[in-house]
Amino acid sequence: MQRNLRFSIFWLSLVFLPLLFSDARKANLPGGWFPIKNINDPHVTEIAKFAVSEYNKQSKASLELVKVVKGESQVVSGMNYRLVLKAKDRTAVKTYQAVVWEKEWQNFKSLTSFHPING
C-alpha cells in the first residue's frame, strides 16, 4: 500500500511541479511588474481617472485624462498599477506616469506617485 502511495505521489509531482515554475504562474507572483494586456479595460480607465483626480486635488492642478498609453500591474498587498497616460491642462497635452495602489476588496485606492515624463 505504501509503495503505491509513493508511486502516486511521484507521478503527481511530475505532472504538477512544472506548473509551479511555468511562466503562466509567474504573472501571479508578488513583486514583479507585468504589462496590462488591455489598457482600454474599464477598470484601468477608472484607475487612471482616479490618479488624475487625486493629483488635481493634491497639487491644485486641473488636468483632464485624455487616454491611457500603456500600463503595468504588480501584485502586492492588493495591486499596484503603473500607468503612462496622456492628460491635458489649459495649454497642452502632456505625458505622465502614475502609480496607484488598490485594495479592491476594501474599496481602497491611493495615489503613490504622479509625474510628467518625456514621450
Whether 58 is covered by a domain: the verdict is yes
Q: Residue 79's beta-bridge partner residues? A: 75, 102
The DSSP-derived string for 15-47 is HHHHHHTSHHHHTTSTT-EEE-S-TT-HHHHHH
Which residue range forms the structural domain that includes residue 107? 30-116
Whether 12 is covered by a domain: the verdict is no
What average pLDDT does the segment 18-28 reach? 43
| All residues at 6 or more sequence positions from 66 whose CB lies less than 8 Å from its CB, including other chains | 85, 86, 87, 88, 93
What's the distance, CA 72 to chain centroid?
5
CATH code for the domain of 103: 3.10.450.10
Under 8 Å between Cβ of 114 and 54: yes
**pTM recorded for the entire structure:** 0.74
Per-residue pLDDT tens digits for 32-84: 999 999 999 999 999 999 999 999 999 999 999 999 999 999 999 999 999 99
Whether 104 is covered by a domain: the verdict is yes
Number of structural domains (the chain) is 1
Whether 11 is covered by a domain: the verdict is no
